Structure 1
Amino acid sequence: MTRLTAVIGNPREGSRTHRLTATVVDKLASAVGAETEVVDLAALAPVLLDPYGEQATRAREQVAGSDLVVLATPVYKATYTGLLKLFLDGYGTDGLAGTTAVGLIVSAAPHHLLSTDIHLRSLLVELGASVPTRSLQVLESQLEEPEAVLEAWLAAHVATLRRALAPVAEEVPA
């Protein structure tokens, strides 16, 4: 079965980003047939600066071993949070090779959404992840009722994600 891990990059535990991520992960897991896990970076914040710390290492291994990773972040200064960057900086080049990644962006202003997607996508590709879809972008004004945005995003992207997650067919000798 597909392993889906959500990485929540909001520095506050119990944040609106965290609650939205739970909804997104439930729906996405149902759509692609996945078991889910969560890495809440707010809980890991005190140990992320130690590059050899056991908790941070386990969390990074969990994410790198996942088939699908949802990276959720509010917009901070027109990009993702420093906490998410700190976590991702713990990977070497191609540290996320073999994973499919999806960004989940929460923003107060619509003009931040594209720049955030560009910055997060660039970092994920640098780490070797496959990023086959646009990020799911939710405005703060949509947080109380995100279902319409989520359903529209799923309708547009779930087939692409299913293809990306499909096992690679074994090569047949010529």
Structure 2
Amino acid sequence: MSGIVTLVGNPRGGSRTYDAAVRAAETVAGRLGLDGPGEIVDLAAAAPQLLAPGASAAVEIALEQVAEAEVLVVASPTYKGTYTGLLKVFLDRLPGGALAGTVALPLLVMGDAGHALAVEVHLRPLLVELGAVVPTPGLALLESQLADLDAHLGPWADRVAPQAAAVLREGARA
């Protein structure tokens, strides 16, 4: 296991989703006493290799980083009411149970509050299916909230960090 890893499923590099994910990882890491944001897996850089036939060393390394995370912040913009296809293509490459023992923290950035449940209804079940423990709540960030990100990250991290810490303690005992 390797501390905290941030997985960004935005197809555009340098996105607001990337910035929000890194800041979320730093905030949670601070609450957990981990170095954050740790490793960052930006799928924008890996997109061509994800959809190409054949193996890719970059994709394999990214999959390994994600599978070895103790805490995994998974971030995506909201597309069509859910996470991006790019994130799904990447996570589909993980075998079932690959995230067992991992605390996964889902984060979606959205333009409309009507999509706020997508983080719980769509992204959480995918992470649970892969074996992750997903503390409540996931983070649904409106684009309008990005200007004052710390005001939203702090309260969210205060809620999920104790749950994450409990899972990490249990894992250390196992």
TM superposition score normalised by structure 2: 0.91
Question: What amino acid is aligned across from residue 31 of structure 1 in structure 2?
Answer: R
Question: How far off its partner does 1:88 sit?
Answer: 0.2
Moved beyond 4 Å, runs of 4+: none
Of 38, 43, 46 in structure 1, the residue corresponding to residue 45 of structure 2 is 43
Secondary structure (helix, strand or coil) at the match of 1:98 reads: coil
Aligned residues: 171
Runs of at least 5 residues in structure 1 that lack an aligned partner in the other structure = none
Secondary structure (helix, strand or coil) at the match of 2:156 reads: helix
Q: Is the 8 A contact 1:2 1:34 kept in 2?
A: no
1:149 aligns with 2:136: no
Question: How far off its partner does 1:51 sit?
Answer: 5.9
Q: What is aligned with 1:135?
A: 138
Matched-pair identity in %? 43
Structure 1 distance, partners of 2:100, 2:54, is: 20
Question: What amino acid is aligned across from residue 132 of structure 2 in structure 1?
Answer: A
Structure number with bigger Rg: 1
Runs of at least 5 residues in structure 2 that lack an aligned partner in the other structure = none
Question: How far off its partner does 1:117 sit?
Answer: 2.3
Structure 2 distance, partners of 1:140, 1:133, is: 21
Q: What is aligned with 2:15?
A: 15
Structure 1 distance, partners of 2:86, 2:165, is: 29
Q: Is the 8 A contact 1:64 1:95 kept in 2?
A: yes
Secondary structure (helix, strand or coil) at the match of 1:146 reads: helix
1:126 aligns with 2:129: yes
The structure-2 alpha-carbon separation of the partners of 1:169 and 1:95, relative to structure 1 and needing over 3 Å to count, comes to closer
Question: How far off its partner does 1:133 sit?
Answer: 2.0
Secondary structure (helix, strand or coil) at the match of 1:96 reads: coil
Q: Is the 8 A contact 1:51 1:90 kept in 2?
A: no
Structure 1 distance, partners of 2:47, 2:94, is: 16
Question: What amino acid is aligned across from residue 104 of structure 2 in structure 1?
Answer: A
Question: How far off its partner does 1:26 sit?
Answer: 1.4
Q: What is aligned with 2:163?
A: 160
Q: What is aligned with 2:99?
A: 96
Question: How far off its partner does 1:119 sit?
Answer: 0.8
CA RMSD of aligned residues (A): 1.7
Q: Is the 8 A contact 2:97 2:129 kept in 1?
A: yes
Q: Is the 8 A contact 1:95 1:127 kept in 2?
A: yes
